Amino acid sequence: METIQEQVITLPRIGDKAPIFKAVTTQGDINFPEDYKGEWVILFSHPADFTPVCTSEFITFAHLESKFEKANCKLIGLSIDGLYSHIAWLRTIKEKIEFKGMKNEEIKFPLIEDITMSIAKKYGMIQPGESKTQAVRAVFFIDPKGIIRALIYYPLSLGRNFDEIYRALIAMQTSDKFSVATPADWNPGDDVIFPPAGSCGVAEERMTNNDELTCEDWFFCTKKLDKDTILRDILKN
C-alpha cells in the first residue's frame, strides 16, 4: 500500500518578520531586508520569464515604478529562472513589447535569480497543487521595519490588479499615519473608520457630542480625512 505524503507549504503570516535572504539580481546583489530598512517593499513572484501574462505585469510595474517610489515603496521581483534569462527577457520587453499603450519600458527594479527555489520556498511561493516548478503570483507587502503587513496570491493564469496593489499600500500607510482603519473599497479622500469605543461612556459621547464623527451606531463611526492631507503626509514630493 503506497503512502502519499503531501508537501506542507509554510506561508509567512501577517505580522511575521520577512524571511531574510541574500540574492543575485538584475540590479546586483541584495541583502534582504537589511538593504531596505526604512522603506516599504513589494516583493512579488512570477512563474517564468518569456511568458505573456508575466510580460504584461512587468511592463505595468515598470510603468508604475515611479508612482510606488513616491509612496516610499521599492519593488522586487522573483522567479526561479536564471540571471541571463532575466536579462534577455527584460531587454526584449524594452525593445519589442507594447501593452495598453505602454512601450519602451525599462525594468529598473531588481529581479531575483532563484534557480534553487530557496527564496520562493521561504515565502511559500511554490505551491505544488498549482505547479511544482514555477512560483505562483505572490505579492508581499513589507513595511519599513521588515514586517509582513499583507499578502496576496494569484494563480498562474490570473494577472494581478495593480490598482488594488497600490490602493492597499496607501491604505496601510494611511492607517499607520492617522491611526484609523479603511472601509470596503476605500480610496484616498473617502471617509475612514474611527477605532471602536472602549467603554460605554466613550460610546455615548461619540453618539451625542462629537462633531468630527458620523456614527451609524456606537461601533460604526467614520470621519472625514482629506485626500490632500493623506497624500501630502505620505507621498514624497
Q: How is domain 179-234 classified at the architecture level of CATH?
A: 2-Layer Sandwich (3.30)
pLDDT of residue 4: 41
Instruction: Give pLDDT tens digits along the chain (237 positions).
Output: 344 444 555 789 999 999 999 999 999 999 999 999 999 999 999 999 999 999 999 999 999 999 999 999 999 999 989 999 999 999 999 999 999 999 999 999 999 999 999 999 999 998 877 777 677 899 999 999 999 999 999 988 999 999 999 999 999 999 999 999 999 999 999 999 988 765 555 666 666 666 788 888 878 889 999 999 998 989 876
SS3 assignment, position 224: coil
Task: Name the CATH superfamily for 21-160.
Answer: Glutaredoxin (3.40.30.10)
Q: Which of 54, 73, 200, 221 is catalytic?
A: 54
Instruction: Give the cell for residue 106.
Output: 525599462
Where does CATH 3.30.1020.10 sit in the chain?
179-234
Q: Catalytic residue at 215? A: no
Tell me if 13 is assigned to a ligand binding site. no
**How many other CB atoms sit within 10 Å of the CB of residue 48?**
17
* Kind plus residue range of the DSSP H or E element containing 213: strand 213-217
* pTM score: 0.90
- Ranges for all domains in the chain classified under CATH 3.40.30.10: 21-160
**DSSP symbol at 9:** -
